[in-house]
Amino acid sequence: MKNTIKSINPANEMIIQEFPDWDMDEIAPIIEEADNAFEKWRLLDFAQRAQCFFSMAKLLRERKADYAILMANEMGKPVSQGEAEAEKCAWVCEHYAQQTAHYLADKNIVTENSESFVTFKPLGVIYMIMPWNFPFWQVIRGAAPTIMAGNTIVLKHASNVFACALAIEGLFKEAGFPENVFRSLLTGSRTSADIIAHPKIRAVTLTGSERAGQHVAAQAGQNLKKSVLELGGSDPYIILEDADIDLAVASCGASRMLNGGQVCIAAKRFIVVESKRAEFEGKILELMRSYQMDDPLDPASNFGPMSKIKLRDELHQQVLQSVEQGAILKMGGVIPDKPGAWYPATVLTDVKRGMTAFSEELFGPVATIISAKDEAEAIAIANDSEFALGGAIFTNDIEKGRRLARDVITTGTCVVNGFVKSDPRLPFGGIKKSGYGREIGEFGILEFVNIKTVVVS
């Protein structure tokens, strides 16, 4: 009997739908179809491709309420946040529809030849492996630049959001994209190595865990294929002595608790200079208490369940280990006695080097407060991580903040007096064990093109 993959509502543990788990016998023909679609799609000009993305943006806005319900049911996102996600997807579609002709315009270079220029040509079929936490945004933010550049895509979405994956495939069709420009593959991770090895797959992009990134990078390397990896984060938010504490608390809380804390670029380590620790701690505790677990289908809810029981239990073990290692549990940290992947807003203080909460990514609604004696120690703590995706600095000395963000903090993104958000206009990605390559912005669209030199003597 063929294996199936279940979509389970994390709020109540009820099975929503079961999907077949495809083998390569079913996947390989789809890759071939995507390659055939590429040969036609690549010949269309930017204006023709853009019309499809403008249509998609319109559909996303019209159907945002329906898509938000789908996200809430499959992975627990509050519907208000799901609607905002659909709106952001519309934005990235419009951005690339408007900007790709500029981003990918031929670039003339003066040499001794009569003509020298660089042109940007699509590669072919790109394999996307995407996570569940932003089931529409993660896919469409990668698909918009990749497909506008002339490529086609086959997607392996996270297995708990297959209904979202099929909805996105349907969205491409209804927006007027040619058949097979975008396809969703209903398969688990066991087929990924064979998919990457398929001769018609030209590159692979993954957003996921460090472990998944290691496997994909190895498989891509073995097959000499380009890869882009956006992996975990343990983002440091540094609160200096001259910081606006109310602004810092509001920014840290909003970043930490968006999507129930299940965000790679969420604020995860609150590093506070000792002179401001008591004030910051008191106010962040007050803010975190305002996040009460609620039905994600309620429009007033801002905090739903985690996406899976397994991930909730893993997070809880990280909290317990940290407490055993000497961290102080100020609030939360208790699994509710009810069905579903619920976990309360939690705060750990007195977190130090060597503790689980210091060194590991806590992917859920847990804030960790780390005290530093001064600015120098705060910066050293911030950079003392294997992850380097995003980070923030809070200070009223804007020039100092700018200098530290630009030259000192080792992350892919650093914000002064705010929190990290992905933006279609700006490149996004990390260094160290947070991955490599960039998504979105002008640099993102260049990841999956042939940067081709043409010389006319």
Give the active site residue among 52, 164, 264, 414: 264
DSSP string, 2-42: --EEEEE-TTT--EEEEEE---HHHHHHHHHHHHHHHHHHT
87 carries an active-site annotation = no
Which run of H or of E encompasses 267? strand 267-273
Amino acid at 69: I
Phi-psi region of 245 (alpha: psi -120 to 50; beta: other; left: phi over 0): alpha
Known catalytic residue at 414: no
Cα separation, 10 vs 161, in Å, equals 11
Residue 23: burial class (beta carbons within 10 Å; 0-12, 13-18, 19+) = middle
| Residue 339 CB contacts under 8 Å (≥ 6 apart), including other chains | 12, 13
CB neighbourhood size of 292 (10 A) = 10
CB atoms within 10 A of CB 43: 9
Of the candidates 122, 101, 136, 95, which has an alpha carbon nearest to the alpha carbon of residue 39?
122
Q: Is 197 helix (H, G, I), strand (E, B) or coil?
A: helix
What is the C-alpha to C-alpha distance for residues 283 and 304, in angstroms, rounded to an integer? 23
For residue 382, the surrounding DSSP H or E stretch is helix 375-383
Q: Residue 41: name the closest of 155, 125, 130 by CA.
A: 125
Choose, from 83, 94, 230, 361, the residue flagged as catalytic. 230
Enumerate the active-site residues. 230, 264
